[in-house]
Structure 1
Amino acid sequence: MKNIYEFLKSLQNEKRLKECQLLIVNDDVQAQIASDIVTYLGFKPFVLSDFRANFGDDLLSFSQELQEITKNLSDYYKYKKENKILISPIRTISFPLPKERCFDEFTINFADNINIEEFKSKLYNWGYYFVDIVTSEGEISIRGDIIDICPLGSELGYRVSLFDDEVESIRKFDIEDQKSQKEEIESFSINPAFLALDEQTFEDINEKVQTISSDAFVKDIHSLGFWYLGDLAQYLPQNLNSFITQEALSELDEVYVFEEKRVNKDKFLLTPQIYSSKNYQEINPANIKEFISFHKDKKITIISNSEAKVKSVDLDLNDKNIKYIFENLILNLIGDDEVIISLNKEIKKRRKKKVKLVLDELQYNDFVVHEKHGIGQYKGIEPVVVMGAKRDFVILQYQGEDKLLIPVENLDTIDRYVADGSSYAIVDKLGRGSFAKLKEKVKDRLFEIANDIIRLAAARELVNGIKIDINKDLISTFQKTSGFAYTKDQTRSINEIFSDLSSGKVMDRLLSGDVGFGKTEVAMNALLAVISSGYQAIFVCPTTLLATQHFHSIQKRFEKFDINIAKLDGKTSAKEKTSIKKSFENGSLKMIIGTHSLLDIKSDDLALVIIDEEHKFGVKQKEKLKSLREDVHIFSMSATPIPRTLNLALSKLKGMSSLLTPPSERLGVRTFVKEYNDKLIKEIILREKRRGGQLFYVHNNIASIEAKKKDIEDIVPNIKVDIIHSQIKPDKAEKIIEAFENKEFDILLATSIVESGIHLPNANSIIIDGADRFGIADLHQLRGRVGRSNKEGYCYYVVEDKKSITQDAVKRLVALESNSYLGSGTALAHQDLEIRGGGNIVGVDQSGHIKQIGYGLYLKMLEDTLATLSGEKTQDKKTVDIKLAISAYISQEYISEDRVRLELYRRLSKVTSKEELYTIEEEMEDRFGKPDISTKQFIELILIKILATQKNIQTISSYEMNITFVKENDTKESIKSSSKDDDDIISATLGYLRR
């Protein structure tokens, strides 16, 4: 920071700052610092992303950086004033980048005429992805007379409604929930998603891409076009007056590991360097007001993004000796004659938004669970004509080729079958009644479990808890030593725990959150609060490895606070065990971290038990921990999210907290999809070895795992590989993991057993063999094994032969690679994991029941049982059988994509009020235009279902002009419509139901 500031400041003083047209820095972090300095000095920065690809890489997994480079270069060329500076990391600028003529834009105005074919062609050539639903930048969807598009750099999409070929309205819409804003706008601009190429140039580049030798999974302009721009690209240093930081120069050797197609290294060596600052120092004053008073003879500048922050540090906004700049900049420097202090905190730019729009994508042949008929296979949606009227039905196949046709308005009676990843569903037999018996058996067992949960919660509620005094100053000091800013979720969870601990009641709280989201940091706040109050605590883990990991991290964080900690596990000698237990009993030892060895620990001052990975402990073990002392506080942690509804059911019995946002310093995982070859595997392994890391290799077949080990050793001689899978005994598996953590070997070859509960920050590459055979949730979980430290993780989804896998599998893998297809990626994976998280709470001994009926139905039954036993009224779900001779379905002309229609059918089938129905109808009209007759009639059919449910009607049927209603008590009533026409039957039915 100080070097760049001093250099640019001296240029500004000499009125030569405009000579600096290009500033070459080390990485993204330095680029942001430089951007803040340039802005502070009154110039306009344009920052290029740190583009860390190697020549020839498949760029789908770098699509975010490429889009940002395209957008910012475009903005740089468009900005015609002289006070602009381009800032680039060394790796980015060492590639030839697109010339100015590659950037263009055009505007769509209200009342413009659009030739739709020419428009499609232009945006295809400009690199836009044509999709069903626009969920991120650089995507477009054209549905009849509705155009949705999200240009680069835009947080909102634009929805254009056409009347014939004329623009009738333009509105912005939210790409997360797809809802558009009410206000219409006059116009908006569209920039290229890749580059502004004409049709011929686009074809020429695409042709080149098809002929090259590359291991890219899909060879197209999006994955490889950037490498073949030819005379459309240039090396920027030769055209711009450039300066380079010393840190960037020191990166040159690493940049040139892969020299192919890179500019001559000497060009950078000749670029003028920015030398170390002599006159400026970076500062971080604890007391700003006091610091300023020591330097009041200097020019003082305070930077803040709000007046409130200035007031919070007791500074006077009217003080004429201080210059205030209200900007979101970070600059903290002291020089011979000036002081600059920023009150702003660094905000890490999040790469991906949280997805709210979950596309619950049922794939052909997926297993589903029907609440009455059990597990079947989904075979798509088919139109069926009944009594001359057309309706859509979901087809489920059961044993013996039997088929069940479910009207789409009753789609809420089925759910996707989710088990534990390794389970394969067994299809039920229709009409045998065995599924009903199975449900009763599960219900009885759930009744026992729910009873236990409630009884224990009630017993602990009657006991007075140990009241903990929270030392806020000490906690504040501790939080500052973490070296990072807490997420909002962490802060909220800590406050919830402190509220429990100081309430005088016994705490029983569960914290859920992915590994690496900061659960241990939350737990350490609780530990410090309890120990500083004069009490003791234990931290229980399911494995020696986890206990060792926690012992090292907690000991390091607590060393400044004079708290003695011991570790007690299976490896502790008998002599040490006796000594540790004695020290804990007499109070000289304040905290023990360990495994099951802690189940019989004794002490009068024990106030807090923390249980990590609590689902891995049996009910009896958890009870033993709770009985160590009847008023002991219990804080449990779990690495899987808990379903919202179960969360609500359980939260009446115990405290629930969750961490949903990752810490700001976590980097994303760079994902590639590849076809298997030995050369590729060798390159991946050696690349990770070059940066001092280790790898996971997932091969999900125990029978051939030894042969796979030999293959790897043949491909990369001298590499050390060890194996882990479910048939290896737990104590041996633990030793293997520990040896891996101690870097005694390079590759952990494993089945999908490694998908959770392992935190190994030095393993930052993962190869997943046969990736097309994994579910999307499992792929997402496995990818989460790497990128857990501040190093970037690399994930390789490898398939044996891309020609032999289904189009569906290709689509899903490429979606995960580029992350542009968010609806079917992380959101769906999270949904599966959420369901599993609920199963984890109940315990591993329930996996048999879960496998038989699927997690979804199992949890729904558990929620109902908990609610019943808690004294809440639960209503049996009412169903209505509608057999009206009307054509009612969402037509393919209205919505052509099956998956979108299925998603709307699913949502409409779950509607229980008129308000919900009209909200979805409004959304459909907004997204797809006015519904046609059959779609409008389907919405009216759902209205009939809602009203009939409220009136306890079980069946509605029609024949000719007669409409019959059957109530729950089997009483019948019939009415006549004015004709057999669909609209008259609907009108008469609604008229009767509204009476």
Structure 2
Amino acid sequence: MNNIYEFLSQKNNCELLIVNDDKQAQIAYDIASYLGYEPFVLSDFRANFGDDLLSFNEELQEITKALNGFYSYKKQNKILISPIRTITYPMPKAKCFDNFTINFADTLNLEEFKSKLYNWGYYFVDIVTSEAEVSIRGDIIDICPLGSQTGYRISLFDDEIESIRKFDIEDQKSFKEEIESFTITPAFLALDDLTFQEINEEVQKVESDAFIKDIHSLGFWYLNDLGEYLPSNMNSFITYEALDELEEVYVFEEKRINKDKFLSLPLVAKSQEYKNIEVANVKEFITFHEGKKITIISSSEAKIKGFDLELSNKNINYVIKPYIINLVSNEEVIISLNKQIKKKRKKKVRLVLDELQVGDFVVHEKHGIGKYLGIEPVTVMGAKRDFVVVMYAGDDKLLIPVENIDLIDRYVADGSSYAVVDKLGKGSFAKLKEKVKDKLFAIANDIIKLAASRELINGIKIDTNKQILNEFQTKAGFDYTKDQVRSVREIFEDLSSGKVMDRLLSGDVGFGKTEVAMNALLATILDGYQAIFVCPTTLLATQHYHGIAKRFKEYGIVIAKLDGKTTAKEKTHIKKGLQSGEIQLVIGTHSLLEVKTKNLALVVIDEEHKFGVKQKEKLKALREDVHIFSMSATPIPRTLNLALSKLKGMSSLLTPPSERLGVRTYVKEYSEKLIKEIILREKRRGGQLFYVHNNISSMEAKKADIEAIVPNIKVQIIHSQVKPTEAEKIIDAFEAKEFDVLLATSIVESGLHLPNANSIIIDGADRFGIADLHQLRGRVGRSNKEGFCYYVVEDKKTITSDAIKRLLALETNSYLGSGTALAHQDLEIRGGGNIIGEAQSGHIKQIGYGLYLKMLEDALATLSGEIKQENKSVDIKLAISAYISSDYIVEDRVRLELYRRLSKAHSKEEVYTIEEEMEDRFGKPDIPTKQFLELILIKIYALGLNIKTISSYEMNITFIKEDETKVSIKSPSKDDDDIIATTLKYLRK
């Protein structure tokens, strides 16, 4: 920092400053801004020439944004800051950037507009969910220009722009006020038809293992005369840190600018005048340096007051900005009160698209498991309606009106089970449900009894208000995420409440659950009690033992490890130490279930879903008032979370730690050259690899293949048939870096934390579910090193278009916590069954996971004395045409999603809100769509009045109530609008 500050403050007329990496670029940005420059920062672009760039989409967009800004900024004080790896490739010239403005009341030639956006690198999608995407639906255009946080919705009247409004890309709702205009910049480059064509043709000819060859995946490599090596004609300087990196940049790359060009650039010298500082006590530091020019930088005045500094002090220059600069010289002091801001995470789209595919299994509450065949229009009594078609055994079909689509749910059991379709009308499913219901009542009863008995016991009160606990958090070496802060607070409240704690913390792998647990352990031990930390495997126990011992070192806590590897002599010693109270914390496996302690107050269970109910009961039985804190890496379904939270404390970590990087993801076709390159690339950076091959019988052959492709490589095999003790030895050897490649089945997808293994190859990726692929990807990139994940398919010509879509979605969504809608559904599947404890997979398999959870919730609610509304349905047989028409909404999956949301609506307000949203997104509903919305209103009114059937014949409309009473009324005509108006008038009365 000090060298860059001294250099830029001397006004060296620098136009291009070359730094080491992203971190240094951020420092340079803050300093340049503070000194009055207008800085533009290029992203740290770490691709190798010829790489498939879909995985580098974010970096390329950042580069486009920065260069666009730099070239269009016309004043003299601008500076371009670039990491060395980026600038060693040719960058697009100034002529590649342009923009155009969309104005209210302009005429818009739609074909020309589409063509321009296509050439400029925009993605055409159903729904716009991030920048550089556009969706054209009839006379409504949604677009999110590159660099914009919101989308823009253009409404056309014929070819004239009738209105422009911003909209929220999270929930797709537009803002009320109309705007006059907005500007569109290129998402890749501003190319005309001819240039776009030329680049695209060149890309097609290239020999590349990119899964799909197009301008998005390879265009950047073939700029030709559109690109230039930037140092050529700019006043450029390089930092000495960047020179160290320069060596590595050139080791494996021939397609970069001549290294000597960089070595001949003027160097930003080491600072003679300024020193970097870290200030613990700001006020005290200032008093030591009185008489110097003092500047305090803070993002807000409130923060300054929080540090007890006087804003009125004339001797201090206050700068209200987010910069982080901490320097001292003989003349001046600059101190920043700001903390490092985390990189903004991509927003998750709240609007989940229905991923129900034709051919998927579904469960109907009354009829059981069938196969979803799609939505079909059916004409009944001259009126057209949409029905969901579900096929049962013997090719029997069930037609469900779309307004009742909420009666079916996707069938989900565990990954390995294949659904067996039921027979329609046999009543066997009802009997099966009753059987499962009895079992569920027994489970729910146990859960409640246990919770009630623990509720009556006085818990051990732990003092959590010690200063030493706050200091422990600041010594973590990183800032806690807000979820971690909240979870620690919740646990401390439980421990100090005088009640017995039973809390479950769920959070994705590597999101910092152990750090939260350490706070509870420390509070308990410092208060004079003992604690136990139980893990499912020796490997995890060893990992936790080393990690916790390191963090607790300065507190003089006596810690022991007890697992399968502990010798008999050590076991005896540890057990004695626990009974005498000499050992305060023991970390281990199932061996801990039998131990006796002196004053145990807390049991922490890691990966709690790996323990059976009986084992968990044994732990609770160690002492009846012991606090239980469980951790699980599987998300808990929201619904079950609500049901269980009455009985159990629930906390969750949803934010990744700031130093974690996303995993770079590629989809590739198998080739020996590719496998060799991946393995050697990881080896060169001193790392190891996972190779997932999900077929035990051909494991040995695969091992021989890898060893033949890359001689001198060490490969070991692990799968479910390898004995547990042997498996642990293999993992230990892998962790000790005794071999390079762990060849495994998907068994590796849970629990392992091996920070040195940062590349994973998944063979036959098209045969895995999206959730498994997402979980497997989570095995790498677990330290501050970037992870690489390769989804490899045998032959891309033979895989289905759905599999391609699925893989490409994963390739472009590799940011942290990105698990797509489907992955979340599938991950939840694992979470729910586990919490209940006993392997209920048999029941889940019979009735499907969704229905199983719903029934468990009902059982819990009934036994807790809650009154749950019984799910009623109404059969509407009105001779009206009511459906969301495909002319109005073209995409089937969007229609299906709206059908699902409308069928679940419980109030008129919900229907009107969805109608408003539809009008906003797709324009005014046409007649059949408007009539479908009115049909949903009829359904809601009827449910409130206990009406079970509404039907019409000619002009007669009949209502039948639950108690079989019948009412008939007459409509003025048999036209759709009259039938609807008459029905609604009667129901509203």
User: If the length of structure 1 is used for normalisation, what is the TM-score?
Assistant: 0.98
Give the corresponding residue for 1:947: 941
Give the corresponding residue for 1:852: 846
Give the corresponding residue for 2:568: 574
Give the corresponding residue for 2:911: 917
Residue 357 to residue 302, structure 1, CA distance change in 2 (3 Å): same
Q: Distance in 2 between matches of 1:381 and 1:462?
A: 53
| Aligned partner of 1:932 among 926, 944, 948 | 926
Q: Distance in 1 between matches of 2:392 and 2:729?
A: 45
Contact 1:136/1:175, CA 8 A, preserved across alignment = yes
Contact 2:833/2:839, CA 8 A, preserved across alignment = no
446-455 or 431-440, larger mean C-alpha shift: 431-440
Give the corresponding residue for 1:700: 694
Residue 252 to residue 811, structure 1, CA distance change in 2 (3 Å): same
Q: Distance in 2 between matches of 1:615 and 1:691?
A: 35
Q: Distance in 2 between matches of 1:159 and 1:182?
A: 11
| Aligned partner of 2:885 among 891, 902, 912 | 891
SS in 1 for 2:840: helix
Contact 1:493/1:658, CA 8 A, preserved across alignment = yes
Give the corresponding residue for 2:237: 243
Equivalent residue letter for 2:215: I
Question: 1:633 aligned to 2:627?
Answer: yes
Give the corresponding residue for 2:742: 748
Give the corresponding residue for 1:584: 578
| Aligned partner of 1:689 among 679, 683, 694 | 683
| Aligned partner of 2:335 among 341, 365, 373 | 341
1:626-660: CA deviation from partner (whole Å, max 9, x where unpaired): 11111111101111111222111111111110101
Question: 1:382 aligned to 2:376?
Answer: yes
Give the corresponding residue for 2:411: 417
Contact 1:740/1:746, CA 8 A, preserved across alignment = yes
Give the corresponding residue for 1:559: 553
Contact 2:529/2:600, CA 8 A, preserved across alignment = yes
Give the corresponding residue for 2:109: 115
Q: Equivalences for 1:59-208 in 2 at 5 Å?
A: 59-208=53-202
Give the corresponding residue for 1:718: 712
Give the corresponding residue for 2:764: 770
Give the corresponding residue for 1:216: 210
Q: Distance in 2 between matches of 1:857 and 1:984?
A: 39
| Aligned partner of 1:838 among 818, 832, 842 | 832
Q: How far did 1:993 drift? A: 1.2
Contact 1:564/1:590, CA 8 A, preserved across alignment = yes
| Aligned partner of 1:877 among 871, 879, 893 | 871
Q: How far did 1:384 drift? A: 1.0
Q: Distance in 2 between matches of 1:822 and 1:571?
A: 36
Equivalent residue letter for 1:114: L
| Aligned partner of 1:811 among 784, 805, 812 | 805
Equivalent residue letter for 1:674: K
Contact 2:663/2:815, CA 8 A, preserved across alignment = no
Q: How far did 1:608 drift? A: 0.5
SS in 1 for 2:174: coil
Residue 614 to residue 949, structure 1, CA distance change in 2 (3 Å): same
Q: Distance in 1 between matches of 2:496 and 2:953?
A: 68
| Aligned partner of 1:491 among 485, 509, 534 | 485
Equivalent residue letter for 2:907: S
1:512-563: CA deviation from partner (whole Å, max 9, x where unpaired): 1011000000000001111111111110111111111110111111112221
Residue 159 to residue 319, structure 1, CA distance change in 2 (3 Å): same
Question: 1:8 aligned to 2:2?
Answer: no
Residue 441 to residue 718, structure 1, CA distance change in 2 (3 Å): farther
Q: Distance in 2 between matches of 1:914 and 1:628?
A: 54
1:479-531: CA deviation from partner (whole Å, max 9, x where unpaired): 11111110110000000000011111111111110110000000000011111
| Aligned partner of 2:856 among 856, 862, 865 | 862
Q: How far did 1:408 drift? A: 1.0
Q: Equivalences for 1:601-750 in 2 at 5 Å?
A: 601-750=595-744
Contact 1:608/1:632, CA 8 A, preserved across alignment = yes
Give the corresponding residue for 2:527: 533
Give the corresponding residue for 1:961: 955
891-900 or 712-721, larger mean C-alpha shift: 712-721
Give the corresponding residue for 1:274: 268
Q: Distance in 1 between matches of 2:482 and 2:354?
A: 29
SS in 2 for 1:136: coil
Q: Distance in 1 between matches of 2:779 and 2:414?
A: 18
Q: How far did 1:450 drift? A: 0.7
Contact 1:836/1:855, CA 8 A, preserved across alignment = no
Equivalent residue letter for 2:681: R
CA RMSD of the aligned region, Å?
1.4
Q: How far did 1:706 drift? A: 2.3
| Aligned partner of 2:972 among 964, 974, 978 | 978
Contact 1:360/1:824, CA 8 A, preserved across alignment = no
1:659-680: CA deviation from partner (whole Å, max 9, x where unpaired): 0111111100000011111111
Q: How far did 1:400 drift? A: 2.3
Equivalent residue letter for 1:226: F
Q: How far did 1:202 drift? A: 0.4
Q: Distance in 1 between matches of 2:646 and 2:578?
A: 34
Give the corresponding residue for 2:289: 295
Q: Distance in 1 between matches of 2:797 and 2:950?
A: 50
Extract unaligned runs of 5+ from structure 2: none
Residue 704 to residue 625, structure 1, CA distance change in 2 (3 Å): same
Contact 1:355/1:827, CA 8 A, preserved across alignment = no
| Aligned partner of 1:360 among 354, 361, 380 | 354
Q: Distance in 1 between matches of 2:439 and 2:882?
A: 42
Give the corresponding residue for 2:278: 284
Equivalent residue letter for 1:4: I
Q: How far did 1:823 drift? A: 13
Q: Distance in 2 between matches of 1:273 and 1:433?
A: 82
SS in 2 for 1:183: strand
Give the corresponding residue for 1:992: 986
Q: Distance in 2 between matches of 1:653 and 1:816?
A: 37
Instruction: Give the share of equivalent positions with the same residue, in percent.
Output: 79
Give the corresponding residue for 1:785: 779
SS in 1 for 2:310: coil
1:272-318: CA deviation from partner (whole Å, max 9, x where unpaired): 11222232221111111001100112111100001111111111111
SS in 2 for 1:182: strand
Q: Distance in 2 between matches of 1:422 and 1:742?
A: 33
Q: Distance in 1 between matches of 2:619 and 2:55?
A: 46
| Aligned partner of 1:451 among 445, 449, 454 | 445
Equivalent residue letter for 2:592: L
711-720 or 58-67, larger mean C-alpha shift: 711-720
Contact 2:139/2:158, CA 8 A, preserved across alignment = yes
| Aligned partner of 2:901 among 889, 907, 925 | 907
Q: How far did 1:3 drift? A: 1.5
1:5-60: CA deviation from partner (whole Å, max 9, x where unpaired): 12222x23xxxx3x210000011000000000101111111000000001110100
Q: Distance in 1 between matches of 2:962 and 2:672?
A: 67
Give the corresponding residue for 1:467: 461
Question: 1:25 aligned to 2:19?
Answer: yes
Question: 1:392 aligned to 2:386?
Answer: yes
Q: Distance in 1 between matches of 2:131 and 2:53?
A: 16
Contact 1:359/1:824, CA 8 A, preserved across alignment = no
Q: Distance in 1 between matches of 2:434 and 2:830?
A: 22
Q: How far did 1:828 drift? A: 2.6
Give the corresponding residue for 2:38: 44
1:324-362: CA deviation from partner (whole Å, max 9, x where unpaired): 000000011111211111000001213422332211211
Q: How far did 1:399 drift? A: 2.1
Contact 2:662/2:815, CA 8 A, preserved across alignment = no
